Amino acid sequence: MNLRRLCFALSLSAARLLAQPDPAASPASGLPPEWEVRKQLADLVSQTERLAQLVSKIEPQKWEGAPEAYVAQQKSILAQIQYTAQVVAALSRQPERMTLALDVYFRLQSLESQVLSLSDGIRRYHNPAVADLLTSLTNETASSRERLRQYVKELVAMREQERELLEKEAQTCRSLPPRVTPVSKPKASPVPKASPDKAKNP
């Protein structure tokens, strides 16, 4: 095997190893172990489920003088919670999928903004005590969202290190001199010797 093929094989092996998640997630990597991530995600789902239970009991269509936008906002919040739970479940199965982690994080940010807006409407047109309860439930997700933000930050850093390692491997391969295969000259065919009988006959 020449040097280029060996280099390519080593790079491919490194890429496969980096692509495989480490179930233990060693502390040196900066990431929490997968079991801890799954527990945090389960807590997050539980928090959003309690939030959904309260939001579903609110009846903004009965608020006197309230804009109809609150009705649409309530439906949007419930749909957002449902979809967020689905993405969280997918992330729990693949904790090192950076796209899923980012999706959950940004959806939680959007959800918080919508819930706080609905809470303002509840305080103004319905019941301030219910608004306080909704705000309290929303604040519970703040700590989960912060842990998720930190997890995403560490996950991005790990992926960046992996990318730099693969780039170094590729650079090493490109710097190797090309292998020159020597051209062999064709051997000359031997000249057949004349038989003694033919040489005697004129």
User: What is the tens place of the pLDDT at every residue in 47-90?
Assistant: 999 999 999 999 999 999 999 999 999 999 999 999 999 999 99
Model confidence at 96: pLDDT above 50? yes
- DSSP, collapsed to helix, strand or coil, labels residue 25 as coil
Residue ranges and CATH numbers for the domains of the chain are 31-160 (1.20.120.230)
Range from 26-30, 96-100, 144-148 carrying the lowest mean pLDDT: 26-30
Of residues 151 and 198, the one with the higher pLDDT is: 151
What is the pLDDT, as a whole number, of residue 31? 78
Q: Quickly state the pLDDT bin for 32 (edges 50, 70, 90).
A: confident
Residues ≥6 apart with Cβ < 8 Å to 45: 85, 88, 89
Model confidence at 24: pLDDT above 70? no
What is the pLDDT, as a whole number, of residue 68? 92
Contact 104, 91 (CB under 8 A): yes
Model confidence at 2: pLDDT above 60? no
What is the pLDDT, as a whole number, of residue 20? 47
At 76, give phi and psi (nearest 5°): -65, -40
Q: How many CA atoms lie within 13 A of 87 on its CB side?
A: 19
- DSSP, collapsed to helix, strand or coil, labels residue 176 as coil
Give me Rg for the CA atoms of the chain: 34
What is the pLDDT, as a whole number, of residue 158? 83
Of residues 181 and 103, the one with the higher pLDDT is: 103
Cα separation, 127 vs 114, in Å, equals 18
